[in-house]
Amino acid sequence: MSGGSECAVVGGGLAGFTAYATLIHGGIPPDEITVFDATGADPAQAWRRRANAIRQRRMRSESNGHCLPTSFPGLALRSAWRGHSVWPLVESVCDRYHPTVEEFLEHVDELRSRIGWEAAVVRTRVERIGVRPDGFSLDEHGTFRHVLLAPGPAAVNVPEELAGDPRTVHAYEPHEYAHDLAVVGAGMAAATEWRNALAAGARVTSVRRREPLRRPLSVPRPLLSRRGLRAFHATRPLERAAILETLLAPSYPPGREWDEPLQCGGARFRVEAEVNGEAQIICATGFRRGFGAQPLLAQLVAEHGPETHGDWIVLAPDSTVPALTNDERTLALAGVAAQWAYPAADTLAGAKYAAHGFLRAVQRCRTR
Ligand SMILES: Cc1cc2nc3c(=O)[nH]c(=O)nc-3n(C[C@H](O)[C@H](O)[C@H](O)COP(=O)(O)OP(=O)(O)OC[C@H]3O[C@@H](n4cnc5c(N)ncnc54)[C@H](O)[C@@H]3O)c2cc1C
Full-model pTM: 0.96
**CATH 3.50.50.60 segments of the chain:** 7-155+288-366, 160-212+250-283
Q: What pLDDT was estimated at residue 337?
A: 98
User: Residue with the nearest Cα to atom 19 of ligand 1?
Assistant: 346
From ligand 1's centre to the CA of 211, what distance in Å? 26
Q: Helix, strand or coil for residue 267? A: helix
Q: Are 283 and 169 in contact (CB under 8 A)?
A: yes
Ligand 1 atom closest to the Cα of residue 126 is 42
C-alpha 111/C-alpha 114 separation (Å) is 5
From ligand 1's centre to the CA of 90, what distance in Å? 30
Name the fold adopted by 7-155+288-366.
FAD/NAD(P)-binding domain (3.50.50)
Q: What pLDDT was estimated at residue 124?
A: 97
Widest CA span in the chain: 67
C-alpha 41/C-alpha 38 separation (Å) is 9
Closest C-alpha among 215, 213, 192, 212 to residue 204: 192
Q: Are 273 and 182 in contact (CB under 8 A)?
A: no
Q: Phi/psi of residue 143, each to 5°?
A: -110, 135
From ligand 1's centre to the CA of 150, what distance in Å? 8
Cβ burial, residue 292 (10 Å; 0-12/13-18/19+): middle
User: Residue with the nearest Cα to atom 2 of ligand 1?
Assistant: 51
- Amino acid at the residue 71: S
C-alpha 215/C-alpha 229 separation (Å) is 18
- Distance from chain centroid for Cα 37: 16
Q: What pLDDT was estimated at residue 94?
A: 86
Q: What pLDDT was estimated at residue 189?
A: 98
Q: What pLDDT was estimated at residue 1?
A: 45
Ligand 1 atom closest to the Cα of residue 17 is 25
Most ligand 1 atoms within 8 A of CB, residue of 17, 47, 61 to mutate: 47
Secondary structure letter of residue 85 according to DSSP: -
Ligand 1 atom closest to the Cα of residue 337 is 26
Ligand 1 atom closest to the Cα of residue 11 is 34
E-strand ranges in the chain read: 7-10, 33-37, 121-123, 129-132, 135-138, 143-144, 146-149, 168-170, 180-184, 203-207, 213-214, 251-252, 269-272, 280-283, 308-309, 312-313, 330-333
User: Residue with the nearest Cα to atom 17 of ligand 1?
Assistant: 347
CATH architecture assigned to 160-212+250-283: 3-Layer(bba) Sandwich (3.50)
Q: What pLDDT was estimated at residue 5?
A: 78
Q: Rounded to the nearest 5 degrees, what angle is found at the Cα of 185, between the Cα atoms of 179 and 191?
A: 65
Q: What pLDDT was estimated at residue 4?
A: 60
C-alpha 179/C-alpha 368 separation (Å) is 64
Which parts of the chain have pLDDT scores under 50? 1
Q: What pLDDT was estimated at residue 252?
A: 96
pLDDT digits (tens, 9 = 90+) for 262-281: 999 999 999 999 999 999 99
Q: Ligand 1: which residues within 6 Å by Cβ?
A: 10-16, 36-39, 46-47, 50-51, 54, 56, 59-61, 65, 125-126, 150-153, 189, 296, 335, 346-348
User: Residue with the nearest Cα to atom 35 of ligand 1?
Assistant: 11
Taking CB atoms within 8 Å and a gap of at least 24, the contacts of 304-309 are 304/129, 304/131, 309/237, 309/240, 309/241, 309/340
Q: What pLDDT was estimated at residue 368?
A: 74
